[in-house]
Amino acid sequence: MKAAVVALGTVLAASVAMAGPDGTLNPGDTFPPWSMVDHTGLTVTSQELAGKTYLLWYYPKAMTSGCTAEGCALRDSYTEFVRQGVTVLGVSFDSPEKNSEFVRENGFPFRLLSDRDKSLAIAVGAADSAKRLFARRISYLVGGDGKVLKAYPQVDPSVHARQVLDDLGVLAQAK
């Protein structure tokens, strides 16, 4: 177990070392392994998503206007994400209970995860320290091989869903 923790720390350190000047990862970088609790209390891990493409979108705070707008746009485009084989996961520093309320109020069909210790947020540029109160609005499209396909370091909630779907189209054409 101790060796696994050391290995995880090494992977996180390597990912941070590759991060851009703003702390974000770049396309081609390995996304750090993670484990978080979702809005239902179940643990979700990056290992479970191996072989699948996923969008991990950090949002500052559940139930706020910008986060609601972004979540609703992703919800409204959810069928298209599923059609393209993309799992959508929202992440904040909110408790699972607060995220559960956010899901119920807005009918989100995707899971919302709680990065309570902020470790992944720090590793991927959504926070610069564990003292940060709210996550930066940042997203990553991660491929089935665990590599970053596209980084979104400055997200506009009103256009983000469309932007990601357009990028998925471009990535599909490039294959």
Task: With a cut of 60, say whether residue 85 has pLDDT above it.
Answer: yes
Domain boundaries, the chain: 2-174
C-alpha closest to that of 108 among 136, 139, 66, 69: 69
State mean pLDDT over 82-104: 97
Map residue 170 onto helix, strand or coil: helix
What is the token pair recorded at 27? 């396309």
CA 51 vs CA 29, 73, 86, 120: distances in Å? 16, 26, 11, 20
Q: Which of 39-43, 57-61, 87-91, 167-171 has the lowest mean pLDDT?
A: 167-171
Say which of 44, 67, 112, 122 is annotated catalytic.
67
Question: Could you tell me the pTM of the whole model?
Answer: 0.86
Residue with tokens 């484990």: 35
pLDDT in tens, 100-123: 999 999 999 999 999 999 999 999
CATH T-level assignment (fold) for domain 2-174: Glutaredoxin (3.40.30)
Task: With a cut of 50, say whether residue 42 has pLDDT above it.
Answer: yes
- The question of whether 72 is a catalytic residue gets the answer no
Please report the pLDDT score of residue 137 as a whole number: 96
